[in-house]
Structure 1
Amino acid sequence: MRILHGIKYLTKQNLALRGHRESFQADGNSNVGNFLGLMKFLAVLDPVMREHLALIESHPYALSYISPGVQNEFIHIMASTVRKNLLDSIRNKYYGLLFDSTPDQAHREQISEVERFVDIDFERKTVCVRESFLGFLHIRQKDAASFVEIIMQQLEKDQMKIEDCRSQCYDNAAVMAGHRSGVQQRINEKNKLAVFVNCDNHSLNLVGVQEARQDTEMASFFGVIDSLYSFFSRSTQRWEKLKDAVPLVLKAEAESRWSSRTEAVKPVQMYLDKIVDVLDSMIEDVSQTIDSQSDAKQLVNRILTYEFLTLLGFWNKILTPIDRVQKRLQDKTMNFHNAALDIKGLRDHFNDARENLVDECLEDGKNLCEKWDVEIKRRTRGKTRMAGENARDAELSRTDEMKRVIKGDLDRLHKEMYDRFSRLFDIDSKFGFLLDVQGLCYGPDSSDCEQLESTCENLGAVYSSDIDGKQLYEEIIDCKMLISSRTNLKLSRPEDLLTFIVEYGDERVFPNLRIAL
C-alpha cells in the first residue's frame, strides 16, 4: 500500500517517477528519481518500508514491487480505474464531444478526447459542470472521414451512445467545422441533436488574423511592428538600451493569439517618442556596426510615415476592445449567451463609431506628422479617369487613400464578425433564454409570457425526445414563483438555477427545466 500510494501521489502531482539511475546502490550524487527518492524518504520515518528497502539492497533479485515494469503496471491499473469511473458518470447523462488534434513529440498525429457533461448528485444536492479528459487517440489520416471513424469507434468502445450526444465542439479548421463534409456535419447526420458550437475565442482570433492580411497597408504596418521587436531582441545590448528608455518592453505578435498584437502595438503607441530616440541614438553611435546603424535608419524611415503613424492610433483603438472581449471569452465561467452579447456589442460598437473612429485616427495621424515633421501630401493614388471628370477627381490624396483603407478595414471587420459568429447567434436565439437567468427568474411577470411560451414550445418541438415544451414553460413559471418568495436568494448563473432545482426536490420535480438547463 505504501508503494501504491507513493505512485498515486507522484502521478496526481504530474511528476516523473524515474530518474537517471534507478538503483539503491547508486552513489549519493546520482539522481534515482522521484519515486525511489520518495521511498527512501518514507524509509526514514516508516520501519516497515525501511525493512523492505534493506531486504532489496541485500537481495537485489528479490521481488521488490518497485521495478519500472511494476510502476507502469500500477499506473495503468489506476488510469483504467479512473477512466472507468469517469465513463460511468457520463453514460447516464447527456454529454458533449470535444476533440482536437496535435502532433506528439514522435511526430505522430493524435487527437485528444474530452467529454463535457453535467454531474448532478441528488443525494448530496450538488451540481457540477465537468470536462473530463479521457485520453489521446492516434490517427493516420487527417481527413474528416478518418476523424469521424476514430470518434465513432471510440464511443462504441466506451459504450457511449451517439444518440445521447447534445453538442460537439472543435476548432475552426475546415476539416472539423466544414458545413458540407466536415466532422461536425458528419456527426450531425448521425445525430441531428448534436449541435456544433464553435470555439468563440478562436473565431474572434481568426477575424483579426484575416483583417491583417486583406490590405497591403495593414500588412506593412504589422511588418514594421514585428521588425521593431526583431531588431531589438536580436541583441542583448540593444535590448538593454530599449529597456532603459521604455518601461514596457516590446513583444512579438503571434498569429495563433490575436491579443498578442495588442501587447505588440500598445508599447509602440505609448512610447513612440522614446523608441525613435533610441533608434536615432544608435544611428549616430559610431560604436555600432554598419548593419545595426543601417537597420535602425530603415526602421526610423518606416516608422515616420503618414501611413504608420495613422494606423498606429487606429489599431490601438481597435485592438484594445477586441483584447478585452477575447480575455473574457477565455473565462471558464463564460457561456454562449454572454459570448453572443459581447460579440454583438463589439460588432455594433465598431459599426456605430465608424465615422468618428476614422476622423479621430486621421486627426491623430495628422498631429503626429506635424510633430515629427512628416510630409503628408507627397503621394497621390491615381485612378482611371472617366468621361466628364476633372483631373483632380481622378486621383486620391494621401489622406483620402488612408480614409479608404481604414473604412474598408472596418467594413471587412464587421462582415467577418457577422459571418464567423452567425452560428453563435443562431444557437443563442434558440437556447439563450435559458442562460439569461436574470430575465428568466426575475423578469416581468406577464409582458414576455407569450414569447417565452412560444420559445419553449419551439425548443420542445426540436428536442421532443428529451423535453415537453408546454411543461417546460409551466415549470419555468412555477420556478419563478418559488424564487420570488425567497428574497434572500440571488441567482445569477445557470448553474445557480440548476442547483436551486436540485436542492428543491428530486428528479421528479422540474424534470423538463432540469434537462433543458
Structure 2
Amino acid sequence: MEKYLTKRKFSDSSEASNVDFSKHSRVEINLPDLPLDPGMRTRILDYDPNVRDEVRRAYLLKGPCQPNSHEFPYTLFGKKPRRFNVAWFNVKEYSTWLEYSVTQNAVYCLYCYLFKPYVGAQGGGDTFVSVGFENWGHKEKLNQHVGGFKSVHNQAWSKCKDLLNNKQRVDVAFAKHLTQSSIDYDIRLDASIDCIRFLLRQGLAFRGHDESETSANRGNFIELLQFLADHNQSIKDVTFNNAPLNLKLTSPDIQKDIVHAAAIETTKLIINDIGECFFSLLVDESRDISLKEQMSVVLRYVDVEGRVIERFLGIEHVPNTAAIILKETLDNLFSRHGLSISSLRGQGYDGASNMKGELGGLKTLILNENASAYYIHCFSHQLQLTLVAVAKNNSKIVSLFVLLTNVVNVVGDSCKRLDRLREQQASKVIEALGLGEIISGRGLNQETFLIKPGDTRWGSHYGTLISMITLFPSVLDVLEIITEDGATPEQKCEADMLINSLQTFDFIFSLHFMKKLLGITNELSQALQRKDQDIVNAMNLVRICKMQLQNLRDSGWDSMLTQTTLFCKKHEIEVCNMDAMFLLPGRSRRKYPKMTNLHYYRVELFYDVIDLQRTELESRFSETSTKLLLFMACLNPNNSFAAFDKNKLIQLARLYPNDFSDMDLEILNDQLETYILDMLNSSEFLNLNGFGDLAQKMVETKRDKVFSMVYLLIKFALTLPVSTATVEISFSAMKIVKNRIRNKMGDQWMNDNLVAYIEKKVFADVANQDISNMFDKMKTRRRP
C-alpha cells in the first residue's frame, strides 16, 4: 500500500499532534460576531476548511458593507483633495459587491474576498481583497476589476451564486426527477414555519422534556405541528412518520434555524424601512433571569408617510455596563446592520449612571463622534426613580430605603398583619376625629396601606415615604405585636430591631427630608411621563424644580429641622442635640472625622443630597437640550400655530450644522415666512393635534416637498426621544421569553425570539417564502 500512497510529512511533532483525524471533528465559529468592516476581516483561507463555506454564506447573507451615511474623509492627491463617492454604492455594476472600510478608508470586493484564488496581478491582484483600493480619482479601475465574462471577479461571483443556490448543487441536479419529493419538502417546511410563527408571536417555549412519539410532553412545537397535521390531510401526508427520517424538519437545530431566518427577515424589513432616514437611539440595560447584563437597542425615526416609528433592533449581551464597552457593542451592532453613527440625531438612556454621565458616559462618547446626536431625557421614564438612585449615593439615604423595604416586608408579610395595620390605623383615625385633630368628609380618611418601593414602579418611592409618615404609629403598634406574638424567635428579634431603628432622630430626619425632596420633583416626574407632551410646560417645570431645589438648599434647613423635631416630640422620640459631637453608630471615634451633629445633618446629608439632585437635573436637562426642546415647540401646530417663532426656528437649524449650511439658513429664513402663511390659510391644517399630525398631513398634501427644510426640522423634532417606553417593553418581553424555565437560552436564540415577539406587526409582513429562502441559504440542506 505504501508503494501507491505518499505519507504526509510533518515539520515537527507539534504539528502532527494538532491534527484531528476524527470524522466527527468540527470547528465552531460564532457567525454573528464576524466583523462587517472589510478592513478588519480575517483572510478566508485562514479559516478552517470545515467552516469556510459557513463564513462565506454568512457574509453573503449580510451583504456588502456600505455605510451610506458615513462622513467619508478627504485624502490629498497631489494638490487636490478627494474622497470616496457614496454614489458608487448605487451604480448597478458595483452595488452587490463594492464595500467600504471605515477603519482603512478604502474599498474592497466582497466576491473576491470570499472566492478569489491567487492569480498574481490579474484583476488588480490583492488590491480589492486585502490591500484596499483608495485611488478615488480613477473610477475606471473599478470597471477594470470587474473585467470580462471569464474574469476572476466574475468567476468568484458565479461561485457565490452557486453557494447560496441549493437547487443548483450537483446532488440536487441529479434529483430533479423527484418533483413530488420537492413539493412534499416545501409543504413540510411551510408547516414548520407556520407553527414557529404562532409560537414566536405568543412568546411561547418550543421544546419539551421528551419529544419522542410515546411522550406525553413533546413540547409546543411538536404538539402544534401534530394538531396542524390532524386537521390538514396534505400536511399529515408529508410529516412525522410519512417524512424521510433525516428530513422531518422538526429537530431543535431546525427550529433555531427557522427562528433565526425569521429574525433576519424581520430586521431586514426594519432596516429597509429606515433607509437613509435620520434616527434616534434609545438604550437601556437590564439583567435577564440568568443574571446576564443585556443591552436593549431601539431606533426611533420618521417613515416616508410622516409617522413616528420605534423599532426594536436587538438585545446585546455586555460583560459590564462601562461606557466604553457599551459603545463598542453598539458599534458592532450598527456595523452588522449597515447603520452609521453619523445618522444619529438624538439619544436617550435610562438606568445606569455610566450611560448618562457628562464626562465618560456613552452619551459623551457618541457626542464626540457626532455633535448632532443630542441627548434628551427619556420623558416616559419616571424621573423620580433616577433621583432616588442618585440620592442613594449618600449612604444614609441607602440605609433609609433598606430599612423601609424591611418594614414593608415584615408588616406586609401576611394578610393577618395587614389587617392588624388597618385596624390600628382605623382606631387612631376615630380617636383623632373625636379630639378634633382631623375633620371628616367625603373622600377623607380613606383606608391606606404601606406601599413597597420598587425600581420598576414609577412613583412608588414617594408613595412609600408618604404612607410611612401617615401610618408611623400604627406600624410601630404592629411591630410590637409581632415582638410578642411572632411565630419564631427570629421574627420577634427582627421586629424588635426595626422598632429601635425607626424610633431614632436619624431615621425621622431622613424620612422627612426625602419626602420633601421627592415632593418637589413629583409634579415634574408626572408631567414628563404623559403621552401628550407639552414641551413648553415641561421645561417650565424643570426650571421651577431647579429653583425649588436651590431655595430648599438656601433657606429650607430651619423648616426641615423644625418639622422633624415636631414629629419626634409627637411620637416621643429623642431629639438630637445639634451642638453635640456626631458619632456614627458602630464606628470608632478615632476612625471618623470629628464634627457636630449640625454639620453632619446639614452639610454631609442635607446639602450633599440636594447638590446631587441639582447636578442630575442639569445633566438631564442641560441648557442646550432645554433650548433645543423650546425651539422645537415653535413648530407645534396647536391653536393655529400660536407658538410659531421664525427666529427661534432659525436658531434651531443652527444646532444642526451638518444638515443646514449658511446658504440653507438663508433659504430657510424665506421658506418659513411662506410656510406659516400657507399653514394659516389652508383648511386642512386647522385643528391639528401635535407634531405627528402635522408631519403626516404635510406628506399627504405633498407640502414636505414644497417646504423641504421646514419638514426636516419637523422630522428632527419627532425623532428626538422625548416620549417612549419601547425599551421598557423589550425588558418586559425578555422576562416572558426568557423565564425561569427557559433560563439557559443563549444570547442569539433569545435575541431572535425577542425580535419576532416584540415586532409582531413587522414579522406579520414577512412572507413564509422569504423565511424559507433564507433558511435554505443559511446552510447546505438536504433539499430534494
Using the size of structure 1 for normalisation, the TM-score is 0.77
Task: Indicate the residue corresponding to 2:228 in structure 1.
Answer: 42
Query: In the superposition, relative to structure 1, how do residues 383 and 249 fare at CA in structure 2: closer, same or farther (>3 Å)?
Result: closer
Compute the displacement of 1:505 (Å): 1.1
Query: In the superposition, relative to structure 1, how do residues 51 and 242 fare at CA in structure 2: closer, same or farther (>3 Å)?
Result: farther
Q: Using the alignment, how far apart are the partners of 2:579 and 2:480 within structure 1?
A: 31
Compute the displacement of 1:357 (Å): 6.3
Q: Letter of the aligned partner of 1:90 in structure 2?
A: I
SS at match of 2:706: coil
Q: Letter of the aligned partner of 1:95 in structure 2?
A: F
- Greater CA deviation, 36-45 or 492-501? 36-45
- Greater relative contact order (Cα < 8 A, sep 6+): 2
Q: Letter of the aligned partner of 1:160 in structure 2?
A: L
Alignment of 1:145-156 (within 5 A): 145-156=324-335
Compute the displacement of 1:429 (Å): 0.8
> Which structure is larger by alpha-carbon Rg, 1 or 2?
2
Query: In the superposition, relative to structure 1, how do residues 210 and 482 fare at CA in structure 2: closer, same or farther (>3 Å)?
Result: same
| Residues 272-326 of structure 1: per-residue CA shift (max 9 Å, x gap) | 232122223334x366655544443443343344554455444334324534533
Compute the displacement of 1:86 (Å): 0.9
Please state if 1:94 is matched with 2:278.
yes
Alignment of 1:81-480 (within 5 A): 81-102=265-286, 110-121=294-305, 127-138=306-317, 144-171=323-350, 173=352, 176-180=355-359, 182-199=361-378, 201=381, 205-214=385-394, 216=396, 218=397, 221-232=400-411, 238=417, 241-242=420-421, 245=424, 248-254=448-454, 259-283=459-483, 285=484, 291-309=490-508, 311-320=510-519, 322-331=521-530, 334=533, 340-352=539-551, 361-362=560-561, 364-376=563-575, 379-382=577-580, 408=607, 411-412=610-611, 415-423=614-622, 425-438=623-636, 442=640, 449=646, 451-452=647-648, 454-456=650-652, 458-459=654-655, 461=657, 463-464=659-660, 468-480=664-676
Please state if 1:504 is matched with 2:669.
no
Compute the displacement of 1:128 (Å): 2.2
Is this contact kept in 2: 1:456–1:470, CA < 8 A?
Answer: no
Q: Using the alignment, how far apart are the partners of 1:97 and 1:463 within structure 2?
A: 18
Q: Using the alignment, how far apart are the partners of 1:79 and 1:454 within structure 2?
A: 42
SS at match of 1:381: coil
Could you tell me which runs of 5 or more consecutive residues in structure 1 were left unpaired when the two chains were aligned: 122-126, 385-394
Q: Letter of the aligned partner of 2:389 in structure 1?
A: V
Alignment of 1:481-492 (within 5 A): 481-485=677-681, 486=683, 489-492=686-689
Q: Using the alignment, how far apart are the partners of 2:336 and 2:662 within structure 1?
A: 25
Higher helix share: 1
Query: In the superposition, relative to structure 1, how do residues 79 and 209 fare at CA in structure 2: closer, same or farther (>3 Å)?
Result: closer
Compute the displacement of 1:93 (Å): 0.6
Is this contact kept in 2: 1:467–1:515, CA < 8 A?
Answer: no
**Which of 495, 499, 507 in structure 1 is aligned with 2:692?**
495
Q: Letter of the aligned partner of 2:408 in structure 1?
A: Y
Q: Using the alignment, how far apart are the partners of 1:42 and 1:268 within structure 2?
A: 56
Q: Using the alignment, how far apart are the partners of 1:473 and 1:322 within structure 2?
A: 39
Could you tell me which runs of 5 or more consecutive residues in structure 2 were left unpaired when the two chains were aligned: 1-189, 426-446, 583-594, 715-784
Query: In the superposition, relative to structure 1, how do residues 468 and 255 fare at CA in structure 2: closer, same or farther (>3 Å)?
Result: same
- Greater CA deviation, 5-14 or 330-339? 330-339
Compute the displacement of 1:5 (Å): 2.3
| Residues 465-488 of structure 1: per-residue CA shift (max 9 Å, x gap) | 699233334444434333434398
| Residues 169-197 of structure 1: per-residue CA shift (max 9 Å, x gap) | 34575654455554444433433323344
Compute the displacement of 1:455 (Å): 1.9
Q: Using the alignment, how far apart are the partners of 1:380 and 1:164 within structure 2?
A: 57
Is this contact kept in 2: 1:452–1:473, CA < 8 A?
Answer: no
Please state if 1:76 is matched with 2:260.
yes
User: % of aligned pairs identical?
Assistant: 22
Is this contact kept in 2: 1:203–1:421, CA < 8 A?
Answer: no
Aligned length: 490
Compute the displacement of 1:84 (Å): 1.1
| Residues 412-455 of structure 1: per-residue CA shift (max 9 Å, x gap) | 256334432353x3123135322344488746699x55x43652
Is this contact kept in 2: 1:438–1:491, CA < 8 A?
Answer: no
SS at match of 1:468: helix
Compute the displacement of 1:328 (Å): 4.5
Using the size of structure 2 for normalisation, the TM-score is 0.53
Query: In the superposition, relative to structure 1, how do residues 242 and 170 fare at CA in structure 2: closer, same or farther (>3 Å)?
Result: same
Q: Using the alignment, how far apart are the partners of 1:174 and 1:366 within structure 2?
A: 35
Task: Indicate the residue corresponding to 1:392 in structure 2.
Answer: none
**CA RMSD in angstroms, aligned pairs only:** 4.3
Is this contact kept in 2: 1:259–1:319, CA < 8 A?
Answer: no
Query: In the superposition, relative to structure 1, how do residues 514 and 506 fare at CA in structure 2: closer, same or farther (>3 Å)?
Result: same
| Residues 48-99 of structure 1: per-residue CA shift (max 9 Å, x gap) | 334445xx34667274333433333322222211111111111221122334
SS at match of 2:465: helix
Please state if 1:5 is matched with 2:201.
no
Compute the displacement of 1:510 (Å): 1.5
- Greater CA deviation, 494-503 or 475-484? 475-484
